[in-house]
Structure 1
């Protein structure tokens, strides 16, 4: 039986596997605080019981429907979300950030096939102070039937930030576990690597981040996982598992990902 762990009700401190609720949610974008990979996280999601559940240890099921606004600006921006946001370290120019996780596309997948302009399942968000609403400096999307990895930076093209698709190919098979490892050196002299199911799919010199902020002194990125989408009619479900990140190498996960236990009632 899937266990929903998010609702309007105040939550007491509980532990489910490595997932720890350490504070109750608040109104509007009810935000429960957690620990994942022994690091602080916060849930940005609408106040609905299906937004997040844990069907197996270290396996997180995110679901969004039309008008599931998880942040104050979502309605205005025609977005919806259910996502984890790191509340820990921010990473700056010259740092190499590693992230590793597994994903399974659930049966509610129509927005991933077309009609939705944005379907981010993992992103390295920019660290914004005065400038707002900038694109993630690295993002992983399921869009128009494809898996796509894109970077953003202050390298100018036609007067605006540079957005570059680093990988685009048909989405891997739905209903099966797939493993993704990413490493990126942040900054003007950046480099991006990515491996899907043990095979390298990206190796590119790639400026990463808005490194002109504060004359290059500002932090550039911190990770999110979950669903951040255009507010379309059809619902979406994504399973994400074994989230890991930091500046310590995760290269061992390329060929040896952590196991993912299939839920007793299947991928629903």
Structure 2
């Protein structure tokens, strides 16, 4: 079944592509500093969305790392600009002699939207799922036994990250092994969030990450208050100024 807002999603992805192209110019190789190391699904969704958008544009990620394991030598070998999806210590950046592009400063739709239409996961347990000021819903982290690939990736990530943070030479030599853990861990986090959101027939949220993932998964939802970066012109979305109004609108969406 096609996504009800497929045309809107295509236009948002075009805007993301245009924003990245304006920032990258003719570059077809980049280095990327980022890893979604939070309990919120927003960071892994942004990271995965960025990788998808870059692939769509024919831009290769020649080097990727964590903020604390950045190697100036590896960035130079990448022969392209350095993309920042998270803040990095200024002293570390001073050692890098390539253009630096802070992705969080670019004027374009939020990067999770580059994921495109997503499957609706989970089993519906309640009619209206509330995610307002943490009420009734916590992202937490995927269970350590989420799936075998996640278990292996989590162990390898923890071991490699710990040693790389202490030993710059080890970090330079083993960045490929460490970065190979990023995709399975990021995917597990996003899939976990989709499963949580899928527990409600309708969602009420004041959280941008929940709003964007619900939109991509085709879940009708009510956005409480003003969310900068939100997509209010979706047929799946209603906006409300307070919880009473949000509750009434949620019942209409059932």
TM-score by length of 1: 0.25
Which one has the largest radius of gyration?
A: 2
Greater relative contact order (Cα 8 A, min sep 6): structure 1 or 2? 1
* Larger fraction in helix: 2
